[in-house]
Amino acid sequence: MSAADPYPSYRAPQANGEVICVPSWDSLQTTVPIARATIESSNVAIMGLSVAELASRARREFLTAARTYVQSYLSRVPAHEVAGPLVLTGHQPELVHPGVWLKNFAAAKLARSLGGTAISLIIDNDLCRKTTIRVPTGTVEAPQVVDLAFDATQSATPYEERLIHDSTIWESFADRASSTLAPLVPNAILSEWWPTSPTSPNIGLAIAQARHRLESTWGSAGLEVPQSQVCQSDSFRRFALYLLFNAVEVCSAYRDALADYRLAHRVRSAAQPLPDLQQIDDWVETPLWVWSRDVPVRRALFVRQTKLGLVLTDRHGWQGTLPLASEADVPLCVQQLADWERAGIKIRTRALMTTLYARLVLADVFIHGIGGAKYDQVTDQLCKRLFGISLAPFVVLSGTLRLPIEHTTVSTAQLALLKTRRREFQFHPETQINPADYSPPEQEKISELIASKEYWVQSPKTEQNATERHRRITGANEQLQSWLESRREQTEREIAYLSKQTRVNQLLESREYPFCLFPPKVLQAFLLDF
């Protein structure tokens, strides 16, 4: 993203195997090593620490948390360099399509080339909304898609709190999905990869850890860490205190950054790309979530300044107070946040704060997909408004990989041309008729109809002739169409065939199928050869 165009649009790659990377991959070798210099030279203080001091502490905590987490399920921790650049990416712990998974491999490759460390953030503060995936089945001529569950349906809950509920559904998922998919893709990686005996009872971590083990087996793994653990570090808590004690300014900057984005993209909806933070009476909404271990319902965290300190609430029963009279009280407030955590009160980042903290404090470069890039255009402007700091450009990287299903391809351009021709048959039949193809009497009649239509088309429409003019033009069209009947019928047959085949192709060629439905060799060729 350039300074001249802070709101570029990104389009998913269309061709099978195609990858988009902005800025160019080669340019990252020179830009990443110097990316943090401008940020850390800032004299901005965050709760008594400069950005450089906060980053130094936070990066040490971050690396320690990532190493500790990965050691809990991998016997061999991927190589990492404490002093090298940190290449970050992240996603919800879902069964993602290969174009999303590609970010992890790209981060690992870039980190190796720079002598740094790749770390993927597992965004477990997001909601687990569904536990099904779409699986194609049937035949190439008549495919269909079915939804297959890998766990029982539950109410939307943060991934951090979502456990596997039905072990029978979970353990049978690979067999059910593989047999469903087999008529179209007989050798999906799912049958050998699915964690029937998960290393974690948490549904998101069970999937993420199994995926990460596969990356490690293929020799292309970085470190990983759940975002929930990042939010439990002292450095993050200090950052959160800044957001809480400056809630009015943060709310205003947040609203203005979103307004700039909506204006640039001509977005009218107040909910896109994200809703504004609200001020309700003397309560100010913060860009943080809060919930409790006992009631894992994610709610906005509101604050209000009082004589006793800063009051925090979810506006649904929970309330707490942070006293802060001077910088000397910051450690006490950090400790209070930690005490609430131990008591089961979870304070977590919302979307923009996840990457604002990551890019301002932790990362030398952050690799986004196309969806994340949209949000982080707002993050760029928000950081400028809050801290006067221009963040280093993020990388936008995504790819398209289609299931290896042999099928007939059709041209959407040909379908569009046929539909145009059908419309011409109806409204401009004279352009589709060659009088020389017909007998002299028919030629004479065709010429008369064309001349009559031309006369009325050229006649200015008036209140007096409007009805007659319309009748004459449509009448001529209807009579001329009789000479085109066989061609029209043939065109309709071709449109019907191409429309059906287009629907079939859209189903077979979707880029959204999760990586676990692909054969291992197809995945490796796409992910490792990037």
> At residue 109, what is the residue type?
K
Domain presence at residue 440: yes
The answer to whether residue 2 scores a pLDDT higher than 50 is: no
pLDDT tens profile 282-294: 999 999 999 999 9
The answer to whether residue 4 scores a pLDDT higher than 80 is: no
The pTM for the full model equals 0.89
pLDDT average, residue stretch 112-133: 96
| Element at 105 (helix H, strand E) | helix 98-114
Domain presence at residue 474: yes
How many folded domains does the chain comprise?
1
Specify the pLDDT at position 46. Answer: 95
Residue numbers of the domain that contains 470: 412-508
Q: Are 151 and 165 in contact, with CB atoms under 8 Å apart?
A: yes
Domain presence at residue 480: yes
314 pLDDT band, cuts 50/70/90, is very high
Mean pLDDT for all residues in the chain: 94
Q: Token pair for residue 215?
A: 């990356």
Q: Which of 35-49, 68-82, 398-412, 502-516 shows the lowest mean pLDDT across its residues? A: 68-82
Domain presence at residue 139: no
pLDDT tens profile 437-453: 889 999 999 999 999 99
Q: For the chain, what percent of residues have pLDDT higher than 70?
A: 99
Distance CA 417, CA 10 (A): 28
434 pLDDT band, cuts 50/70/90, is confident
Domain presence at residue 444: yes
Find all residues with CB under 8 Å of 89, minimum gap 6, and list them: 103, 104, 106, 107, 118, 120, 121, 366, 367, 368
pLDDT average, residue stretch 48-74: 96
Domain presence at residue 494: yes
Domain presence at residue 385: no
Distance CA 215, CA 78 (A): 10
6 pLDDT band, cuts 50/70/90, is confident
Closest C-alpha among 405, 508, 518 to residue 178: 518
Domain presence at residue 265: no
Chain centroid to CA 344: how far?
30
328 pLDDT band, cuts 50/70/90, is confident
Q: Are 391 and 380 in contact, with CB atoms under 8 Å apart?
A: yes
